[in-house]
Amino acid sequence: MSAIEARLDALPRARLGLLPTPLAPAAALGAATGVPGLWIKHDELIGYGFGGNKIRGLELLLADARAHDADLLVTGAGAQSNHVRATAVCAAGAGLQCIAVYWGSRPAVVQGNLRLTELVGGQTEFTGDPDRAAVDRAIEQTAARARAAGRRPYAIPRGGACALGVLGHVLAVRELLHQCKESGLQPRHIVLAVGSGATLAGWLLGSAWLGASWRIHGVSVSRPAAEVRGRVVALAAEAAALLDAAAAIVEADVPVRDDFIGPGYGLPSGAGDRAIALSARCQGLFLDPTYTGKACAGLQAMAAEGRFADGGPVIFLHTGGEPALFADPTRSAS
Ligand SMILES: *Cc1c(COP(=O)(O)O)cnc(C)c1O
């Protein structure tokens, strides 16, 4: 085992996910999208209340919160945030309280992820400010208020985008490498949706550290590619520093495209909706409108552009997000 793997193993980790998540072929979707040798890494099946990729970071964050003797998790984002819902579910499972701080104002209809967050007992607050970035400050302010009131809050940034969150995805790389070794699969490409960039940062770091030879392709669902690159490099550096390791990721090496964002973050796009329908009808697989539907549209475009001319195999990371399918975007500020 490498020194890095030993340091990864030494990180305190709450065992939340049903791991490893399944790795399964998706031949029908592959044929329909023109992707040769398509496989899906099913992180939407990771468990813990509709799961998704955020559970991976939360395994480390929850352990750190416990190490800090926290009695309250504070995080935030938009009302349909998967990260906030996953954090609230983990808090409930761990017997901790959770405060969720959302941008904007309380939607008239409580549905999708917001409904689940409240169902598990998450306390919800709205900033009244539509600025997404203002949530970062509001999370700190809410945590400070709770501390002043005698609580022991543990603040988690938007999207779980922090060093421990990134390392959760490095562990996902190791998990997939083990699965590939056991099954003899030699993936040439990994395709994933990119929001805050923590998942992509973890996959790039993990692939570099653990010697994976596949190529990674990120599909941004919110930020322009240049902004994603800057964030991914910064997050990777933070995560590497925590492990006392070299990050060695530069902006030019961050593989991301930004032509599938559509009208904006959290807003459905035509291409994304078509990919959702295609996947549902030909494979019986539900994608989500904010992340994986758009990423799948990107996957299909990459196939058409000849990026998988090597014949694959290609692994699409299903990062979760299905609760948004149960939220009508026209009735939900998110
Ligand atoms: C958060 C999320 C992503 C993107 O992860 P980041 O680490 O924020 O880039 C992808 N898919 C789903 C379903 C998510 O909830």
60: three-class secondary structure by DSSP: helix
Other CB atoms within 10 Å distance of the CB of residue 71? 15
Is residue 9, in this structure, part of any structural domain at all? yes
CB of 194 within 6 A of ligand 1: the answer is yes
Tell me which residue range forms the domain holding 241.
3-52+162-326
Strands 23-25 and 38-42: what pairing?
Answer: antiparallel
Q: Say yes or no to pLDDT of 101 above 80.
A: yes
Q: What is the CATH number of the domain that holds 30?
A: 3.40.50.1100
Pocket residue to mutate for ligand 1, from 42, 53, 81, most atoms within 8 A of Cβ: 53
Pocket residue to mutate for ligand 1, from 291, 299, 318, most atoms within 8 A of Cβ: 291
Same domain, 133 and 258: no
Other CB atoms within 10 Å distance of the CB of residue 255? 20
CB of 193 within 6 A of ligand 1: the answer is yes
Distance 319 CA to ligand 1 centre (A): 6
Is residue 268, in this structure, part of any structural domain at all? yes
Mean pLDDT calculated for residue range 113-142: 96
CB of 159 within 6 A of ligand 1: the answer is yes
Distance 149 CA to ligand 1 centre (A): 33
Same domain, 221 and 304: yes
CB of 83 within 6 A of ligand 1: the answer is yes
Same domain, 198 and 279: yes
What pLDDT shows up at residue 332?
52
Please report, for residues 52, 123, 139, the alpha-carbon distance to residue 16 in angstroms, rounded to integers and kept in the order given. Answer: 12, 22, 24
Q: How much of the chain exceeds pLDDT 90, in percent?
A: 94
Angle between helices 198-210 and 163-183 (to 10 degrees): 50
Catalytic residue among 81, 207, 279, 334: 81
Q: Say yes or no to pLDDT of 145 above 80.
A: yes
Q: Say yes or no to pLDDT of 218 above 80.
A: yes
CB-neighbour burial class of residue 37 (10 A; exposed 0-12, middle 13-18, buried 19+): buried
Distance 189 CA to ligand 1 centre (A): 19
HEC-encoded secondary structure of 284-295: CCCCCCCCHHHH
Average pLDDT of the chain, as a whole number: 96
Same domain, 61 and 142: yes
Alpha helices for the chain (secondary structure H) = 3-10, 27-33, 54-67, 82-94, 112-119, 134-148, 163-183, 198-210, 225-242, 270-283, 292-304
Counted domains in the chain: 2
Same domain, 173 and 145: no
Report residue 4's pLDDT band, with 50, 70 and 90 as the boundaries: very high
What pLDDT shows up at residue 267?
94
Place of tokens 């020194």: 3
Same domain, 320 and 215: yes
Is residue 293, in this structure, part of any structural domain at all? yes
Same domain, 316 and 204: yes
Which tokens sit at 213?
């030879």
Q: Say yes or no to pLDDT of 164 above 50.
A: yes
What pLDDT shows up at residue 1?
67
Same domain, 101 and 193: no
Is residue 278, in this structure, part of any structural domain at all? yes
Which tokens sit at 223?
């930020």
Mean pLDDT calculated for residue range 272-299: 98
Contact 302, 191 (CB under 8 A): yes
Give residue-wise pLDDT tens across range 22-55: 999 999 999 999 999 999 999 999 998 898 999 9
Q: What angle do CA 35, 40, 44 make, to 5 degrees?
A: 140
Is residue 333, in this structure, part of any structural domain at all? no
Pocket residue to mutate for ligand 1, from 21, 46, 50, 54, most atoms within 8 A of Cβ: 54
CB of 217 within 6 A of ligand 1: the answer is no
Distance 5 CA to ligand 1 centre (A): 24
Report residue 334's pLDDT band, with 50, 70 and 90 as the boundaries: very low
Q: Which residues of 107-138 are buried (b: 16+ CB within 10 A; e: fewer)?
A: beebbbbbbbbeebebebebbeeeebebbbeb
Distance 103 CA to ligand 1 centre (A): 18
Same domain, 80 and 148: yes
Is residue 332, in this structure, part of any structural domain at all? no
Q: Select from 159, 185, 205 the last residue of a domain.
A: 159
Report residue 333's pLDDT band, with 50, 70 and 90 as the boundaries: very low
Is residue 331, in this structure, part of any structural domain at all? no
Same domain, 18 and 166: yes
What pLDDT shows up at residue 331?
65
Same domain, 46 and 90: no
Q: Which atom of ligand 1 is nearest to the CA of 169?
A: 7
Q: Select from 104, 139, 159 the last residue of a domain.
A: 159
Which tokens sit at 252?
């030019």
Q: Say yes or no to pLDDT of 181 above 90.
A: yes
Is 81 an active-site residue? Answer: yes
User: Whose C-alpha lies nearest to ligand 1, atom 15?
Assistant: 82
- DSSP conformational letter for 325: G
Same domain, 145 and 179: no
Give residue-wise pLDDT tens across range 58-93: 999 999 999 999 999 999 999 999 999 999 999 999
What pLDDT shows up at residue 6?
95
What pLDDT shows up at residue 2?
84
CB of 198 within 6 A of ligand 1: the answer is yes
Q: Select from 125, 159, 193 the last residue of a domain.
A: 159
What pLDDT shows up at residue 329?
74
Lowest mean pLDDT, pick from 109-123, 245-259, 320-334: 320-334
Distance 78 CA to ligand 1 centre (A): 13
Is residue 334, in this structure, part of any structural domain at all? no
